[in-house]
Structure 1
Amino acid sequence: MPILVQLIVILGICLAGDLLHRYVGIPIPGNILGMLILLLLLCFKVIKVDHIKETSDFFLKRLPFFFLPPSIGIMVAGDEVMSQWPLLLILCIALTVVTMAATGWTVQLLAHKRKQQNTPSH
């Protein structure tokens, strides 16, 4: 599929997410809704990965570039961020612990499930 068509497909899905957020009032940001729509379209094979591969690879290779605006925004609001550093530190530590626990629990659950599937029934 030509790169321009791939770009139109990806931007169209992103626009659909924004429209859902704006006009239907779904309380999830439009860009997240767009990613969920794309995920569903890929899972149900409405869109194949090959249909958007070149454009997706282009964006993924330049992903750090997309972090520049938020990073600059944090630098501009540096005084406000620094005034809240104890709270931010506690949140970072707590969320790291929660993420590690959730990941460990998920791995244990999946390992247990796989072990049950591989064990022959009597």
Structure 2
Amino acid sequence: MPWIIQLCIITGFLLLGKFFGTIFHLPIPGSVIGMILLLGALIAGLAKLEWVEKAAAFQIKHLTLLFVPLVIGLFLSPNLIPLFDWSFIAALIVSSLCCLLGTAFSVEWFEKRKRRIHK
């Protein structure tokens, strides 16, 4: 499947998640809801991993580019760093670790499932 179509599928789930978040006034960001919907569709077999695999791999590969403006902004405004108290920094570290671990376990689970299907 062409890369641009895969990107459109991922974007479709993003927009669907934002729609549900807005309609039902959910406290979870629409992008997270969209990824949960995509995960559910993949698990249920409504969507195939091949439909989004290349575009998702590209986005993950270039994810660090999204953090560059944030880091540069902090370097240009070092006077903002003391405004963050320890609870904020601790929450940032814990949430980042949770995201990393959740992603790692999800990828591992999908890879095992993919190997089982292709055997």
Superposition TM-score, scaled by structure 2 size: 0.64
2:111 corresponding residue in structure 1: none
Q: Quote the offset at 1:76 in angstroms.
A: 6.1
Identity of aligned residues (%): 26
2:23 corresponding residue in structure 1: 23
Q: 1:84 and 1:47, CA in 2 relative to 1: closer, same or farther beyond 3 A?
A: same
Residue 71 of structure 1 pairs with residue 71 of structure 2: yes
Residue 3 of structure 1 pairs with residue 3 of structure 2: yes
Q: 1:5 and 1:28, CA in 2 relative to 1: closer, same or farther beyond 3 A?
A: same
Q: Quote the offset at 1:88 in angstroms.
A: 4.0
Q: Quote the offset at 1:64 in angstroms.
A: 0.5
Q: 1:31 and 1:76, CA in 2 relative to 1: closer, same or farther beyond 3 A?
A: farther
Q: Between Structure 1 and Structure 2, how many residues are aligned?
A: 95
Quick one: which amino acid aligns to residue 49 of structure 1? L
SS of the aligned residue for 1:82 comes to: helix
2:40 corresponding residue in structure 1: 40
1:115 corresponding residue in structure 2: none
Quick one: which amino acid aligns to residue 47 of structure 1? A
Q: Write out per-residue CA displacement over residues 24-45 of structure 1, whole angstroms, 9 at most, x where no aligned residue.
A: 2111101110110111011111
SS of the aligned residue for 1:7 comes to: helix
Gaps of at least 5 residues in structure 1 are 100-122
Q: Which moved more, 1:61-70 or 1:30-39?
A: 61-70
SS of the aligned residue for 1:66 comes to: helix
Q: Write out per-residue CA displacement over residues 29-75 of structure 1, whole angstroms, 9 at most, x where no aligned residue.
A: 01110110111011111111111111111111111012224434545
Q: Quote the offset at 1:20 in angstroms.
A: 1.2
1:107 corresponding residue in structure 2: none
Superposition TM-score, scaled by structure 1 size: 0.63
Q: Write out per-residue CA displacement over residues 75-120 of structure 1, whole angstroms, 9 at most, x where no aligned residue.
A: 566434313344445x36x949xx7xxxxxxxxxxxxxxxxxxxxx
Quick one: which amino acid aligns to residue 22 of structure 1? T
Q: Give RMSD over aligned pairs.
A: 2.7
Q: 1:26 and 1:73, CA in 2 relative to 1: closer, same or farther beyond 3 A?
A: farther
Gaps of at least 5 residues in structure 2 are 99-119
